[in-house]
Structure 1
Amino acid sequence: MATVIQDVLGYFPGEAHALAASSSLSAAAGYHGDDRVSALPDTLLRNILSRLPAKDAARTASLSSRWRHLWRSTPLVLRDADVPRAAVARVLASHPGPFRAVTLARCRFAYHERMLAQWPRLLASKGVDDLVLVNNASDPSADTLPLPADVFRCASLQRLFLGFWTLPDTAGLRRGADVFPLLRELSLFATTITDGDDLDYMLACSPALHTLALIFNQTPDRVHLRSKSLRCVLLWLSMVEEGVVVVDAPLLERLILFDCPPAGSAEEEGQVKVKIFCAPKLRVLGYLDPRIHQLQIGDKVIKPNARPSPSTMVPGVKVLALKVNLGVSKEVKMMTSFLGCFPNVERLHIESVVADDGPAGQQHPSKVWKEVCRVDCLKSHVNKVLLHQFRGHQGELDFIKFIGRSALQLQALLVVLTPQDYASPDKVNELMRKLKDHSGVPWACKYGFLLVVGPKLPSVWKWNFRKASDLAEDDPFAS
């Protein structure tokens, strides 16, 4: 868990401002030249100080009265990892603010009730732009503390990362767009949200919110997305029993659902509902999983082999990712129905899923591929297909044949091996022989190129959070 937290925090921009602790303002030994640093203008010196670890920046106050003034007038960047724990309260109290970035991720607040009461109050009174507030509990499985209500008084916040808390009952809190008027990024990690109304409150109070990330959370039964500003929503390892409903999100560009487990039995149909009512700019969507997701467009629930209609289409989606067991007929039919809802998809990611009982327990639906409804996006728009977690099973080979004859605009078909298979040259050669002998698609043909590649990124944690949240990345699912 500690590694996961570190990877996620590594994304957070407030963490990137501090330089290595080895940085030093002292002159090199034996140097007797002019003090050219002190000759720099105050504006430039403040910029330098703001990029130093807090303990190094504070030390400059001992150089002269001018440096003391500079440190106190420089927006503070504080990480509790850079200073002794006992000094955090002193730094927060002595610096007049504003605080540019504050990371408090090492304290076990359950043992320090006084700090839990004081620190959020100080942050609110002196202004903070970027705040990381993690309750470093000794037992992450224990009940989490309620988030201090004073956090909701930090009106200057632009980015907020909360870890290991329980959102308080927001019914009695101040409401309105002036609660978080500048907040652009909100990330909740391992945070309990007991009521969907509390998440609704956070969205309603954040009129400039750009990115919402729910990571490893116990979320409410429902996640309703109503926001005129949201552009990116990420649900990662967060359990949502009822489902995700895009009620009204006119600027939403990407909706990422990664490893979101169903709350009940995986055998039940429609376990997690994904409903899209208003998302005219939605461009990136995935991973949809026919085993656990029930897709609804407007008032229509998408059924296996359903024929698309204008009312069941989301035309803006260009990048689509699906998780499918290609050896199960029902999932293949559901996959093609999903594809029919997104007529303008250009890049298609399929993650091949294998049943727990292995290939012997699968139903090879070779005939199904000939019976599925015509998929318009394959015929007219899809130019790149990536088949992830390829193991050489018959269902995967049938899918490659299907793509080869259906995707008329295809420029490249990438077969991405599992890390285990890619590490074995013998296994790679075996899979390439299978592709050559059984796929029916030549390595180079009029439909493009068939390429075998290996996974590039070892850490799915880093990939998902960083790439999914970066709108400059056209395709967050690419290896």
Structure 2
Amino acid sequence: MAAGSRSSQARFLPNVFSLVPQAAPSLPSAAASTPGGDGVDRISALPDVLLRDVVSRLPVRDGARTAALASRWRGLWRTAPLVLGDNDLLLASDGARARPDAAVGRILADHPSPFRSVHIAHCSLTSGERELGDWARLLAAKGVQDLVFLDNPPLPRRAAAITRCASLRRLPADILRCASLHRLFLGTCAFPDTAGTPRGPDVFPHLKDPELETLALIISRMTKRIHLRGQSLKCMRLWTGVVEGLAVVDAPHLERLILWKSVGDYHHMVLKIGNTIINAQTKASPSCIVPSVKILALELNFGVSKDANMLTSFLRCFPNVETLHIVSSKAGEDTGRHHAKFWLELDPIKCVKSHINKIIIHEFQGEQSEFGFVKFIAKRARKLQTLVLVLTEGTFASVGEVCEVNSQLKALTRCSWAAEGCQVLLVGPKLNCTWSFARASDLSVKDPFW
């Protein structure tokens, strides 16, 4: 990887190895230049439709302030599609940091135009369910297209929510009636109770042909299975959530399936494709294959036989996966076996043989069970271009452990690889959390975690 990447890292190639700490990159600064002009206000001469589009792309404070520019601009913000991010409202008029709850409530209630994008991540919602219910009704009524809602409770409750996914605030059912959504991110909250909800085109989970492209549930508590139906759905992300099962019922254009960071029983979540429950013994068949998925991210313990078998079942059900992210977990009862024979005798897997070009193993610990999988990939993955092993913080902190991993990698690269010119990168843990739930679900980003 090039200098200036987001990781302290070591680059390992068959003939070159160097350990070079790298700092996190700073954001590029925009060059400030003001060309000379003739004093003519050409921007104000643009048609209203263009000016509204410009205003709607400004941060909410700046968009509202354009009304003070001139009479020409006075009504543009109120008639422009709203883009509201509560991070733009954190500073009070005296410059002090303030909760944006009241300002968000006023804007949602008073702005008459449709809501293009609403991102709420810094509100404490001290008045509780009533305020949240009002916001949900307004979002549904005004046609929000892009919604991010992260409940931001006081610190004691937030800590409990993150560690146990318990006592989370339940979203009101009105949030399900936002039928115009293209993207949805819900975090640190409990999904609305759909028991007894009438089915129909106005109820979000039961839309037959929704426009929804991205669904992300972040630190969310579920009590039932998630059923994915949607002709437009391209990305499903469940991150640090507790859920009994995920059923891919009808999502023919699903490109990304991201099951990331387990809490509690989530590590044993059930995946169902069509009418088939995917388990360690599942054999691939047309009824349980999703050919559209290109990026697959999941968590498993290479030292647990059930997890190793589940990984192969997943890979067979997603035959066209090109990028594979795995969190090497310690969850589950490690048998202590290396499973070398299992990987050696495994039948060919289509995506490994013909499609996977990048594999990243996060929290790599240098265990023999992990190297058993790496050796399997080295011998079977013909299209592999990059294999990245991201060391855990504990492993990276020990010079001896890093040297041991490096030694095993050197021995491995002397063997015959199925793919010529594959780069093997041994890297340290990320210095900052540059990947986020939004980036992981951004379809314009080729690799959301790297």
The answer, yes or no, to whether TM exceeds 0.5 is yes
1:272 is the counterpart of 2:253: no
Aligned 8 A contact 1:339 1:375 in 2: no
Q: Does 2:432 match 1:432?
A: no
Name the residue aligned to 1:75.
81
- The 3-state SS of whatever aligns with 2:337 is coil
Structure 2 CA distance for aligned equivalents of residues 245 and 64 of structure 1: 54
Q: Which residue number corresponds to residue 232 of structure 1?
A: 235
Report the Cα distance in structure 1 between the residues aligned to 2:367 and 2:224, rounded to whole angstroms: 37
Q: CA deviation at 1:89?
A: 4.9
CA-based RMSD of the aligned residues comes to 4.4
Query: Is residue 407 of structure 1 aligned with residue 380 of structure 2?
Result: yes
Specify whether residues 205 and 162 from structure 1 end up closer, same or farther in structure 2 by C-alpha distance, changes over 3 A only. Answer: farther
- TM norm structure 2: 0.68
2:348 to 375, 380, 386: 375
Task: Judge conservation of contact 2:176–2:205 (CA < 8 Å) in 1.
Answer: no
Matches of 2:352 and 2:37, distance apart in 1? 74
2:277 corresponds to 1:296: yes
SS across alignment from 2:258: strand
Deviation at 1:347, TM superposition (A): 5.3
Offset of residue 432 of structure 1: 2.1
8 A contact 2:256–2:296 mirrored in 1: no
Counterparts in 2 of 1:209 and 1:443: CA distance versus 1, 3 Å:
same
3-state SS of paired residue (1:111): coil
Contact kept, 8 Å, 2:259 with 2:298, in 1: the verdict is no
Q: Which amino acid aligns with 1:232?
A: C
For 2:307 and 2:176, the matched residues in 1 are separated by: 45
Evaluate the alpha carbon distance shift between residue 33 and residue 468 of structure 1 in structure 2; reply closer, same or farther with a 3 A threshold. Answer: closer
Q: Percent identity?
A: 41
TM superposition shift of 1:61: 3.0
1:197-239 residue CA offsets vs partner (Å, 9 max, x unmatched): xxxx524377222222222111123222233332222221111
| CA apart distance, 1:256 | 2.0
Within a 5 Å distance, the mapping from 1:213-232 to structure 2 comes to: 213-232=216-235
CA contact (8 A) 1:296 1:302 kept: no
C-alpha contact 2:108 2:138 (8 A) present in aligned 1? yes
Report if the CA contact (8 A) 2:365-2:392 is conserved. no
Pairing partner for 2:46 from 34, 38, 41? 41
Q: Which amino acid aligns with 1:34?
A: G
In structure 2, the residue corresponding to 1:213 is in which secondary structure? strand
- Return the alpha-carbon distance in structure 1 between the equivalents of residues 47 and 381 of structure 2: 62
Letter in 2 for 1:41: L
Whether 2:150 is the aligned partner of 1:176: answer: no
User: Following the alignment from structure 2 to structure 1, what is the Cα–Cα distance between the partners of residues 213 and 108?
Assistant: 28
Which of 443, 447, 452 is equivalent to 2:425?
Answer: 452
Look up the match of 2:438.
466
Partner residue in 1 for 2:261: 259
CA 385–366 in structure 1, closer or farther in 2 if over 3 Å, else same? same
Q: Which runs of 5+ in 1 are unaligned?
A: 1-27, 181-200, 279-294
What is the CA–CA distance in structure 1 between the aligned matches of 2:348 and 2:125, rounded to whole Å?
54
2:359 aligned to which of 382, 386, 390 = 386
Alpha-carbon shift at residue 36 of structure 1 (Å):
1.9
Aligned length: 393
Map Cα deviations across residues 37-64 of structure 1 (whole Å, 9 max, x no partner). Answer: 6643243433333233333333343444
**Does the 8 Å CA contact 1:320/1:349 hold for their aligned counterparts?**
yes
Q: Distance in 1 between matches of 2:339 and 2:81?
A: 62
Alpha-carbon contact 2:390-2:429 (below 8 Å) kept: no
In 1, Cα distance between the equivalents of 2:295 and 2:396? 26
- Structure 2 unaligned blocks of 5 or more: 1-33, 93-99
Corresponding residue SS for 2:74: helix
CA contact (8 A) 1:419 1:454 kept: no
Task: Give deviations 1:51-107, integer Å, cap 9, x for gaps.
Answer: 333333333434443332333333333344444555555545554323433444444
SS in 1 for 2:62: helix
Partner residue of 2:29? none
Contact 1:345 1:382 in 2 (8 A): yes
In structure 2, the CA distance between the partners of 1:430 and 1:212, relative to structure 1 (3 Å rule), is: same
1:34-113 paired onto structure 2 within 5 Å: 34=39, 36=41, 39-43=44-48, 44-83=50-89, 85=100, 86-111=102-127
1:109 is paired with a residue whose SS is coil
